[in-house]
Amino acid sequence: MTGAQQATAAKIVVAGGFGVGKTTLVASVSEIKPLTTEAEMTAAGVGVDDLAATPGKTATTVAMDFGRITLARDLILYLFGAPGQERFWFFWDELSRGAIGAVVLADVRRLDDAFAAVDFFEHRAIPHVVAINQFDGAPVHGHEELRDALSLRESVPLLMCDARRRESSKRVLVTLVEHAVTQLRMNSDAAYARP
């Protein structure tokens, strides 16, 4: 085939605490019907899952969410939403294998829930961005205040988003891809510069 351009497929992980909107983000941008592994919450989660910030939540992801978005004719992203509860974190290693980057989704009302995900990707040197999902009625804080509260390095992009809105979620993914490419180039340049 002449003139046909081969598409590049890239794997992205969407992680964060319980009930921060990971399933919602994947569903808002996916061009296919997203695969979800949501299960009804049961009495086993009482006292374990904090529903204070999400009182209407009745189901939770127990394995992963999966979606796909074509960002450009030659770039397809496969999205893997990770479960947020600590008891399901053992999935994170497998979901992250081969990922070019990750979105850490956070809720300003529960920023401490984002620390585990940020640490996970930092320790594995996986490029990541932090996106603050703007829930209705949640307090609003400035970028620097949020960056300080999350102890984020300046090199980690921090964005505000509304995971329910396709364009907002897409902007997060575009920022992540740009960040991942920049990190890849920097690492490649550093490796090339070594004697």
Q: What would the mean pLDDT of 21-28 be, rounded to a whole number?
A: 94
> What is the pLDDT averaged over residues 47-76?
71
Contact 102, 12 (CB under 8 A): yes
Is the confidence at residue 7, as pLDDT, over 60?
A: yes
62 vs 98, residue with greater confidence: 98
Q: Where are the alpha helices (DSSP H) in 17-142?
A: 22-29, 90-96, 115-123
- pLDDT in the model for residue 30: 96
Compute how many other C-beta atoms are within 10 angstroms of the C-beta atom of residue 128: 27
19 pLDDT above the threshold of 90: no
Mean pLDDT across the chain, nearest whole number? 85
The CA-based angle 5-81-32, given to 5 degrees, is: 50
Q: Which of 83, 89, 179 is nearest to 130 (CA)?
A: 179
- pLDDT number for residue 77: 97
DSSP state of 7: P
pLDDT at position 6 is 84
Q: What is the pLDDT of residue 137?
A: 87
**Residue 109, pLDDT score:** 92
Q: What is the pLDDT of residue 61?
A: 55
| Residue 1 confidence (pLDDT) above 50 | no
Question: What local confidence, expressed as pLDDT, does residue 195 receive?
Answer: 62
Of 9, 170, 153, 16, which Cα lies nearest the Cα of 92? 16
Segment holding 149, helix H or strand E: helix 143-150
Which among 2, 172, 13 has a CA at the least distance from the CA of 98? Answer: 13
Matching residue, tokens 């999966």:
66
Does CATH place domain 8-193 in 3.40.50.300?
A: yes
pLDDT of residue 3: 53
Percent of the chain having pLDDT more than 90?
61
Q: Report, as an integer, the average pLDDT of 120-147.
A: 94
Least confident of 29-33, 45-49, 110-114: 45-49
> Which secondary-structure segment (H or E) carries 192?
helix 166-193
pLDDT reading at 153 higher than 60? yes
Confidence band of 192 (pLDDT split at 50, 70, 90) = low
Q: How far is CA 92 from CA 57, 61, 82, 96, 121, in A?
A: 22, 13, 6, 6, 10
So where are the chain's domains?
A: 8-193
